Amino acid sequence: MARFLIVEARFYDHLNDMLVAGARAALEAEGHEVEVLTVPGALEVPGAIALASESGRYDGYVGIGVVIRGETYHFEIVAGESARGIMALTMDGMAIGNGILTVENEEQALVRADPAQKDKGGEAAKAAIALLDLQARFAA
């Protein structure tokens, strides 16, 4: 059993609730412990994971959030930089599943967030579990 921290960018409550539910269900189905930490936005997710990792309390992480394209360039910055930050931590050997949705509209987000449909929260959790398993495999 491992301890996972779900770090959620709490912006769209109804969408985040579904993403967190999917991630939690996937982790708990494998017998893992789960905690949830809320941050203001997707850009804060990698930083929060990095800070939490310093505690040594968690074995893996799932980043959750929703970024919906707007009328400005802000979407590209938030989508790209949050993914880059998570990837940088992953490349440093951390087990992180990226469940930050980057979509054109709320309808796309609903389909992807809903555990009964695309369940991207659950998929992100399964990715984090897979990376944790690889850590154990290569550490042996």
Among residues 33, 74, 76, 81, the one annotated as catalytic is 74
Q: Is 68 marked within a binding site?
A: yes
Phi, psi (deg, nearest 5) at residue 119? 50, 55
Q: How far apart are CA 106 and CA 109, in angstroms?
A: 5
Q: How far apart are CA 88 and CA 39, in angstroms?
A: 19
Query: Which pLDDT band holds residue 11 (cuts at 50, 70, 90)?
Result: confident
Span 3-13, average pLDDT: 95
* Residue 73, pLDDT score: 77
Span 83-99, average pLDDT: 97
- In tens, the pLDDT along 58-71 reads 999 999 999 999 88
Q: Is 3 marked within a binding site?
A: no
CATH architecture of 3-139: 3-Layer(aba) Sandwich (3.40)
pLDDT at 140 > cutoff 80: no
* Residue 77, pLDDT score: 92
Please name every residue paired with 97 in a beta bridge, in sequence order, or none if there are none.
62
Q: Is 136 marked within a binding site?
A: no
Q: Is 96 marked within a binding site?
A: no
pLDDT at 139 > cutoff 90: no
For 95, counting Cβ atoms within 10 Å of its Cβ (0-12 exposed, 13-18 middle, 19+ buried), the class is: buried
Break the chain into its structural domains and give their ranges: 3-139
Residue 74 catalytic?
A: yes
The pTM (predicted TM-score) of the whole model is 0.96
* Residue 71, pLDDT score: 81
